[in-house]
Amino acid sequence: MSHFFRHILIFGSRSLTSLGLLSLGFLTFPAYAKYTDIFTQHQIDLSFNVNQPVLIADILPQAGAELVVVGVDDKQQRMLAIYFFDTQSNTFIKQDKINIADNVFAYDVGEPQHDGLQRLYLLDKSMVHRYVPAHLSHESAWVNGETVSSMYLSDKAESFREMDFIQDLNNDGLDDIVLPHFEQLNLWLSDCCGARHPQNLPIAARIEINQSSVSYDDQELYFQDMDQDGKTDLVTVEQGQLSVFAQNDSMQFSLIPTKIKIDKSIYAVDWWDMKGPDGQEMDQSNIQHRVVRAIDDFNGDGIPDIALQFTKSSGVLDKTIDFEFFYGALKEGKLSYSEQASTNITSEDTLSNLTFLDRDMDGKQEVSVSSFDIGISQIVGALLSGSIDQDVLIFSMNENNQFGKEPLVSQEVEITFSLSSGTRGQPLVKMIDINGDAVKDIVYSDGDDLIRTVLATPDQKKPYAGRSLRQKIAMPKNPYDAATEDLNGDGKTDVVLHHGSADSPELLKRVLVLIAN
């Protein structure tokens, strides 16, 4: 029972990120509502099975963003394809299809460079490769971008996935590389001439020793301007303090971190990843544990804040989880945090899945959380029905930057899962601007063949329209990880979906693109 509870708890906190916005489905929509062409549907049929969410990036010189599609063909050859939207033919055209070598285990795109375009990169054991698109008579190519070293030492990668190893760390508009090593963090920082300069920071990987194995995990990194000098600093969390590696005028990072004191009950890792002095997992009969979930400016004052998850437990089936927010303050020019939370979100049930939203892009963040009640009857019911009921709650700040005790809206949602196959069904739920008015609307799937949109009403008292728009669309069974971006440059956000293991095998080679009308 304890193992199953932990499975449900971690499942709820890690797997439901996309569901927070479904709470706004509290509006009741009449069954006789007419269908509306919210999106124009486009279908891309590929020669390989798509096994990851489609990545949207602007890597080609023509207008609009491109689709980076990754998967494996019938011979288990890993593939990467690039598609762009051709406005003249109103179709998606394949720009490139690339075989991925067995020693390559990750890909990433950087931030827009000085020419406004992003770069696509591959990572293997010792090299970062950069994609160069075809131009005139020159075919596309992969060029060596940088010789690197990291704790990823395998000569044959078991998987190929997106990884966040490319960032603009020093604010110069050029891509930098960041990779963890066992005893340090390795950086390659770009300069104005395009060269990269290596730097090592004393940030060791987290080690976990078991009876018959040793594993390493990279530390969570946060990138914020912690000293208010206009430069991005690198931040790690330790028990009771933040370690800030400040960026200097030479666009390098200090080797000796500045320590910012926070409450001693605050940790960098979740309680289930912590071991006691005897190497055993934590005793769940007495947990008082705070873990950092995000470091960002939540209240719009330009100063980094801290969001925490606070877990209290007196037993496996007696856990409460709250979320606490510590607003940063400048005292004599230095950043500090109080010992008491500035505001919090609490519930009698267990909370999970902290998600930040900015509906009207005013700098103040709305918060979505999931709430569920776990007990013997709930566990038995989940085993029998193959589903978990959750209440999704949305909170907003008042004029004093406080979250209210009661949520703005609350709605029960159901997540389906199969313990035998390992598949789960989570609906598409996105807050995106589909009509170009700079205020985010709500788009969500309703079953396997319907998509709904609730338009924002920025000039009215109610935040959203009282009736949804509906469109008949054959949806994937697990569309929660859809990609969203403005693909054709019209100021409206589009949606890209792929099929997965819960769908029919013949659909795995298909990508569905919904262009907002």
Q: How far apart are CA 464 and CA 445, in angstroms?
A: 17
| pLDDT the model gives residue 307 | 97
| pLDDT the model gives residue 420 | 59
**Beta-carbon contacts of residue 72 (< 8 Å; ≥ 6 apart):** 48, 49, 51, 78, 79
Count of alpha carbons within 13 angstroms of residue 470, beta-carbon side: 15
Distances (CA, A) of 431 to 19, 35, 120, 235, 488: 10, 21, 27, 29, 19
> 241-245 and 206-209: which strand pairing?
unpaired
Q: How far apart are CA 41 and CA 344, in angstroms?
A: 42
Q: How far apart are CA 299 and CA 305, in angstroms?
A: 8
Number of C-beta neighbours around residue 306 at 10 A: 27
Number of C-beta neighbours around residue 434 at 10 A: 26
Distances (CA, A) of 190 to 107, 128, 168, 178, 187: 19, 14, 9, 11, 10
Q: How far apart are CA 315 and CA 496, in angstroms?
A: 43
- Nearest of 320, 290, 322, 326 to residue 307 by alpha carbon: 326
- Nearest of 443, 439, 444, 442 to residue 460 by alpha carbon: 439
Record the tokens describing residue 257, joined without a space. Answer: 């971190």
Count of alpha carbons within 13 angstroms of residue 479, beta-carbon side: 26
- Nearest of 327, 261, 241, 324 to residue 288 by alpha carbon: 324
| pLDDT the model gives residue 461 | 76
DSSP-assigned beta bridge partners for residue 120: 109
The answer to whether the CB of 119 falls within 8 A of the CB of 59 is: yes
Q: How far apart are CA 323 and CA 352, in angstroms?
A: 9
- Angle 378-271-2 from CA coordinates, rounded to 5°: 35
Write a three-state SS string for 228-276.
CCCCCEEEEEECCEEEEECECCCCCECCCCEEEECCCCEECCCHHHCEC
| pLDDT the model gives residue 14 | 40
Burial class (CB in 10 A: 0-12, 13-18, 19+), 69: buried
| pLDDT the model gives residue 21 | 42
Number of C-beta neighbours around residue 345 at 10 A: 21
| pLDDT the model gives residue 379 | 57
Q: How far apart are CA 499 and CA 402, in angstroms?
A: 41
In sequence order, what DSSP letters do the residues of 406-450 get, joined into one string? S-SEEEEEEEEE-TTT--EE---EEEE-SSSSSS-EEEEE-TTSE
Q: How far apart are CA 257 and CA 237, in angstroms?
A: 11
Record the tokens describing residue 197, joined without a space. Answer: 């300069």
| pLDDT the model gives residue 381 | 61
Q: How far apart are CA 370 and CA 17, in angstroms?
A: 9
| pLDDT the model gives residue 57 | 96
| pLDDT the model gives residue 2 | 37
The answer to whether the CB of 498 falls within 8 A of the CB of 53 is: yes
Q: Please state whether 388 falls in left (phi above 0), alpha (psi between -120 and 50) or beta.
A: beta
Q: How far apart are CA 92 and CA 89, in angstroms?
A: 8
Listing from the earlier edge strand, what are the strands of the sheet with 141-147? 141-147, 127-132, 120-123, 106-109, 161-162
| pLDDT the model gives residue 454 | 84
**Beta-carbon contacts of residue 76 (< 8 Å; ≥ 6 apart):** none
The answer to whether the CB of 218 falls within 8 A of the CB of 236 is: no
Q: How far apart are CA 113 and CA 168, in angstroms?
A: 9
| pLDDT the model gives residue 32 | 43
Considering the entire predicted model, what is its pTM?
A: 0.85
The answer to whether the CB of 266 falls within 8 A of the CB of 237 is: yes
Q: What does the pLDDT profile of the chain (517 residues) look like in tens digits?
A: 333 344 444 444 443 333 334 434 344 444 445 889 999 999 999 999 999 999 999 999 888 899 999 999 999 999 999 999 988 888 999 999 999 999 999 999 999 988 899 999 999 999 999 999 988 888 999 999 999 999 998 899 888 999 999 999 988 889 999 999 999 999 999 887 778 999 999 999 988 887 788 888 899 999 999 999 999 999 999 999 999 999 998 889 999 999 999 999 899 988 887 776 666 777 667 788 899 999 999 999 999 999 999 988 776 566 788 999 999 999 988 999 998 999 999 887 778 888 888 888 888 898 888 777 665 555 566 566 566 666 767 788 988 999 988 877 665 566 666 665 555 667 787 889 999 998 888 888 887 888 988 888 887 777 778 788 999 999 998 888 899 999 988 999 999 999 988 889 999 999 999 999 9
| pLDDT the model gives residue 107 | 97
Number of C-beta neighbours around residue 207 at 10 A: 11
Q: 2-15 and 376-385 helices cross at what angle (nearest 10)?
A: 70
- Nearest of 361, 509, 492, 512 to residue 64 by alpha carbon: 492
